[in-house]
Chain A
C-alpha cells in the first residue's frame, strides 16, 4: 500500500512532441504528489508538485493531471526539448504525522530526439 507505481520505464519522444508519464498509488492518506527530475550524476530536483484538492497544475511546459477517484496522476511535458532528457520520478507522501517521508516511483527515462 506504500508503493507508487510508475510507467513507462522508458520513453522516446521527438522534439516538439508531448511526453506523458503516469503514476498510480494505493494509500489514500497520500496528500502531496511531487515530480522530481534527475540528470545523470546529479541528485533529483523538484520539478512540480500537486495537492489532491486540485485536478491540474501547470508550470510552463510541465503539467500535472490528478485523478483522485482513480488514484492516478500524470506528468505532461509539452513541446518536449532535448534538454528535457532525464529520468523523472513521481512521488507521494502524507502529512499525517511527524514525518513527510516521500515514497518514490521507479522512474522513467525520457529521451527527446532532436
Chain B
C-alpha cells in the first residue's frame, strides 16, 4: 500500500509570513494526525481528525495554526503568521482504526525553517 504522502518536503519562510502543508493519508485510514517535531525532541500532537471531524486540538496554537480535512481524506495545516519558534518538522500520520492495536503510519514530514 502507498504510504502517507506529504508536501512540500522543505519550506523556508520569513517570520510573519504564512505557510501551508498538505497531507494525503493511506487510503481508507479514517484517523489523521498532525504532529510537530522540534529538533532534538519527540513528536508532539497538534491535532487529530476522525474522518472530517476534530477529535483533539487541545495543543494546537489556534491563534496562528489552523487545519482542515474537509472531505475526510487529505488535510492541510496552515500557519499564519509564522514565528521563529515554529521551525520544526511537521509530520502527518494516519491510522485505520481508533484503536491501540492500530499503529500510526507517519509520512516523511515537511521541514519548516522560519528566518
Contact = CB atoms under 8 A, between A and B. Distances in A.
B48 A43 contact: no
Contact of A43 (B44, B55, B103, B106): B106
Interface string B89-106: 001010000111001101
Interface in B47-62: 48, 50, 55-56
In this complex, the interface size class of chain B, counting residues with CB under 8 Å from chain A, is 20 to 34
Chain A contact residues: over half helix, strand or loop, or mixed? loop
Contacts of B40: 106-107
Interface residues of A, number: 26
B44 A98 contact: no
Given A41-B108, A42-B108, A93-B100, A101 B45 contact: yes
Contacts of B104: 44, 46, 102
